[in-house]
Amino acid sequence: MRIVGAASAFPKYHYDQKSLCEAFVAYWGDRLPEPRKFELLHSNVGVNGRYLSLPIEQYAALRFSEANNVWIRTAVELGEQAIPAAIAQAGIDKSEISAFFFVSVTGIASPSIDARLINKLGLSTDMRRVPIFGLGCVAGAAGISLAADYVKAYPDKYALLLSVELCTLTIQHDDLSMANLISTGLFGDGGAAVIVAGDRAAEKCGHQGPDIIDTQATFYPDTEKVMGWDISGNGFQIVLSPEVPTVIAGNVGGDLDRLLSKHNLTRADIGCWMLHTGGPKILRATAQALGVGDDAMWASWEALAEMGNLSSSSVLMVLEKTMKKRPAPGTWSILAAMGPAFCSELVLLRW
């Protein structure tokens, strides 16, 4: 099983962090109790700028039903960009894709986005479709795992994973909680497509991406309130506990050691790390749990600075960055993400 293509796509509206902060301060006005602390929050999340699905001045009047319609339209547009780019990188024809996994947690649609893209792009009408909602930030890594399971059963097939997360469409206009304030500084919009090939299919494919050696999912009981959404008539209201870094630091290292031990590996054998860009505290907690330095996670820090946290799409963009620089042949690698429940998903790769 091999990853043979990865490509990202973004909406056309981009704003630097200072402009976004100023827009929120102007919108909330006197309702924002401590503007200076809010500005410091924005400056300390490690983000230089983000992509938005709409011009910033259109967000103030946006409500849930309208935001979801924008999500559908933009998700299709980003899929139309990312999927052909990933297919071209893999060097295959679009008719060869036989399974389509779509993941998102920032909007809902029926028919789902994958169905709409089959029509738009003329993809095979015989493919297996698996739209997945609710996994949150972990879904990028989980989607790779599910695609790997599919091509393991069908080694002459190719599977497509598409993640689209338009996080700015979920920001609550009148929520001044710390969780929502953090969201306004951290989350952005974008999507990414990945092509996974079975063993026999990979032999015919020109691109030499990393082999998927193993995957591991871990669910942490009784952690539902650590991260997720409260969904109401106003849309998606973020649940983001300050316990997230503690949960990660206390669990992910042990998760990793269990996976590595099955292959007679240790952390010292891992030469490349691709981690979800949850934010500075999340990245540092993960680094602490795994016993690695910031330089080992260069692609994650770069992605965070360039585009913010894009939920499930983030780790796929870190993957794309890493594939462009391509570690030396034989390098062991870990791709990892965490998300609501709370849970982790690890993918062991070899270049």
How many Å apart are CA 264 and CA 340, to the nearest integer? 30
Tens of pLDDT, residues 334-350: 999 999 989 999 999 99
Residues 320 and 225 in one domain: yes
Q: Where is the domain boundary, 203, 225, 245?
A: 203
Tens of pLDDT, residues 283-315: 988 888 888 887 899 999 999 999 999 999 999
Angle of helix 139-153 relative to helix 312-325, nearest 10 degrees?
70
Residues 34 and 159 in one domain: yes
For the record, the structure tokens of 251 come out as 């669990």
Q: Where is the domain boundary, 203, 222, 240?
A: 203
Measure CA of the first residue to CA of the last residue in the chain; give whole Å.
12
The residue type found at 300 is S
Q: Where is the domain boundary, 203, 225, 255?
A: 203
Closest alpha carbon to 341 in 178, 134, 182: 134
179, pLDDT greater than 90: no
Q: Which residue's entry shows tokens 């591991």?
A: 216
Residues 133 and 25 in one domain: yes
Give the angle subtended at the CA of 81 by the CAs of 66 and 185, to the nearest 5°.
Answer: 55
Residues 126 and 184 in one domain: yes
Residues 97 and 233 in one domain: no
Asked if 311 and 174 touch (Cβ cutoff 8 Å), the reply is: no
Tens of pLDDT, residues 193-243: 999 999 999 988 866 799 999 999 999 998 888 888 888 777 887 887 888
3-state class (DSSP) for residue 238: strand
Residues 177 and 101 in one domain: yes
Residues 287 and 194 in one domain: no
Tens of pLDDT, residues 82-140: 999 999 999 999 999 999 999 999 999 999 999 999 999 999 999 999 999 999 999 99
For the record, the structure tokens of 235 come out as 């849309």
How many Å apart are CA 259 and CA 291, to the nearest integer? 16
User: Per the residue annotation, which of 137, 167, 205, 272 is the catalytic one?
Assistant: 137
- What does each C-alpha distance from 291 to 174, 270, 284, 346 come to in angstroms? 40, 11, 10, 16
Residues 124 and 83 in one domain: yes
For the record, the structure tokens of 105 come out as 């947690």
Can you tell me the mean pLDDT for 182-195? 96
Residues 199 and 215 in one domain: no
**Number of structural domains found in the chain:** 2
Can you tell me the mean pLDDT for 174-192? 92
Can you tell me the mean pLDDT for 267-280? 94
276, pLDDT greater than 80: yes
Closest alpha carbon to 314 in 265, 264, 279: 279
The bridge status of strand 128-133 relative to strand 97-104 is parallel
Which residues span the domain enclosing 247? 211-350
Q: What is the CATH number of the domain that holds 190?
A: 3.40.47.10
Residues 133 and 228 in one domain: no
Residues 199 and 218 in one domain: no
CB atoms within 10 A of CB 333: 20
Q: pTM, whole model, 2 decimals?
A: 0.94
Can you tell me the mean pLDDT for 132-161? 97
DSSP state of 327: P
- What does each C-alpha distance from 300 to 102, 150, 152 come to in angstroms? 22, 27, 28
Tens of pLDDT, residues 315-337: 999 999 999 999 999 999 999 99
Q: Is 137 a catalytic residue?
A: yes
**How confident is the prediction for the chain on average, in pLDDT?**
93
Residues 81 and 161 in one domain: yes
